[in-house]
Amino acid sequence: MLQKDAIIIGAGFAGLYMLHRLRGLGMDVQVFEAGDGVGGTWYWNRYPGARCDVPSLEYSYSFSEDLQREWAWSERYASQPEILRYLDHVADRFDLRRDIAFRTRVTSAAFDDGWTVETSQGERVTARYLIAAVGCLASAPRVPDLPMFHGATHHTGRWPHEGVDLAGKRVAVIGTGSSGIQAIPEIAQVAEHVTVFQRTANFSVPARNGPMDPAYEKWFKDNHGEIRAGMRATHSGLMTTPNPDSALSAGPEARLSAFEERWERGGIAFLGSFSDLLVSEEANTAAADFVRGKIRATVTESRVAEKLTPYDHPIGSKRICVDTGYYATFNRPNVRLADLRTAPLEEFTRYGVRTTAGEHPVDVIVFATGFDALTGPLLNIDIRGKGGLPLRDKWAAGPKTYLGLMSAGFPNLFTITGPGSPSVLSNMIVSIEQHVDWIAGCLAHLDGRTIDADPAAEDAWGAHVAEVAGYTLFPRADSWYMGANVPGKPRVFLPYVGGVGLYRARCEEVAATGYAGFTI
Ligand code: NA7
């Protein structure tokens, strides 16, 4: 049986950088990757319009000054193909591919002193340390069963590499989260007809994407060190500075102008218009009303505008979407909105989609229905810790982790951006680099010894994660942050809402005090 010092699962942003760091420690590492290329989420999500909602310069590695200097992004927000090219470049530049086994899914991992993993290729490999760089979403798409539909079906997170020719086709898109909201305007431009099946109306803000401004790019690169240090200390890991003022203390005019200014600037920074949008219901309502007004002003048919307007959750409590022409797309003659709240989905028939209002004949069904987020990618692997305990059993009532980095009883297993860490509430690259650096520092410190989280420290961290979430409006929404999108999944707020700056300080303090809360 092949023996390694460490095994990494996944070759996306997290796995690639982890491999690079562990090589720097002189470790012999094996990476397993289910796809036949690097990229993780950017390998799988190839649907039309797939684009990052974090500005491209900020959504890139900071660990190498040279890498930063030599790579040029073409747009303010990078498209999926460009991000994938970037990660291919990183893999080549740091000669990472020789330690990655592609088309190889880790099916199980069992601890007995070290870890033994089994793969879809029938291999068994052992290593002292196991690092799950499985991402938060992409490895666990949720696809319903379709018994007899005549046409093609595609999940946005498993889009065919060769693309899908939708010209002249009648297309159903199911789901209006970030993926649907990005894909629908693009699909509407080529398809003969699009029917959008909406269960929950969502808040979306304009991206204001455009070509990269060379002067801005130069400024960013020239001031790279300072800018990156600043980003690491913020709440979100983004460069943008949230307005520290309260929306409630601002007068109506000042409030409106702050919203208007951020709306015009574009992007998720809209939620930083004021400091209290995610903690005060009244402040949140002001922001939500502003966006509702924008939807009404954009969508010409008032009945459609009303259906597209969200009322059932605070703005930002579900992942806010960032779009290019989403609401305006419903003014096109070839786009129709089917509201599943008034006419619920009954079944997929041979010729299309039937709701209680009737059948919608279509040629292609696009599922933009999301993922079993945060826990799914880990629990899809049969992971067994000390005494053969399955992680699925330990997490039956929700994930239990210490700092989102380890789970007690699963020694030497590290999770990058695991549940209980800022992950999806932050700029993922900032969080990934922080976790990778922390894990590398920990492994250097361990020097081959075994580490496990203390159950008491884990319980205290879990209580803290829940307590902080409880101060916010996040738990009010039926979101994938809460596990609410997967039937039967425990309703637990999964990411840590305390912010990357505070979280980093906490992780550093733990390391500096000899890994308090862990047993070595
Ligand atoms: P999301 O954000 O989970 O969105 C999924 C959408 O699909 C959402 O509108 C759901 O409605 C809808 N959905 C899910 N299941 C169904 C069924 N059974 N019937 C009808 N509609 C359904 O996934 P995305 O891929 O858009 O985004 C995931 C993240 O990727 C994104 O936030 C970024 O971080 C990147 P619901 O709201 O549950 O009523």
**CA atoms of 351 and 478, how far apart (whole Å):** 31
Which of 182, 427, 485, 494 to probe ligand 1 with, by most ligand atoms within 8 A of CB? 485
Let me know if 259 is exposed, middle or buried by CB neighbors in 10 A (0-12, 13-18, 19+).
buried
- The whole-number pLDDT of residue 516 equals 97
DSSP states of 264-299: HH-SGGGGGSSTTTTT-HHHHHHHHHHHHHHHHHH-
Q: Cβ of 299: how many Cβ atoms within 10 Å?
A: 21
The two structure tokens encoding residue 152: 């093609």
What's the full length of the chain, in residues?
Answer: 520
Minimum CA distance residue for ligand 1 atom 10 = 175
Which of 199, 307, 417, 427 to probe ligand 1 with, by most ligand atoms within 8 A of CB? 199
Which of 369, 427, 480 to probe ligand 1 with, by most ligand atoms within 8 A of CB? 369
Tens-place pLDDT, residues 164-220: 999 999 999 999 999 999 999 999 999 999 999 999 999 999 999 999 999 999 999
- Output the CA 177–ligand 1 centroid distance in Å: 4
- The whole-number pLDDT of residue 284 equals 98
Tens-place pLDDT, residues 475-520: 999 999 999 998 999 999 999 999 999 999 999 999 999 999 999 9
Taking the C-alpha atoms of 164, 165, 167 and 173 in order, what is their torsion angle to the nearest 10 degrees?
-20
Handedness of CA 401, 404, 409, 410 (dihedral sign): positive
Please, are residues 338 and 184 in contact by the beta-carbon 8 Å criterion?
no
Please, are residues 512 and 443 in contact by the beta-carbon 8 Å criterion?
no
Ligand 1 atom at shortest distance from the alpha carbon of 484: 38
- The whole-number pLDDT of residue 429 equals 98
Residues of the chain below pLDDT 50: none
**CA atoms of 48 and 194, how far apart (whole Å):** 14
Residues having CB within 6 Å of any atom of ligand 1: 137, 156, 174-180, 199-200, 319, 340, 345, 368-370, 424, 480, 485
**CA atoms of 86 and 520, how far apart (whole Å):** 38
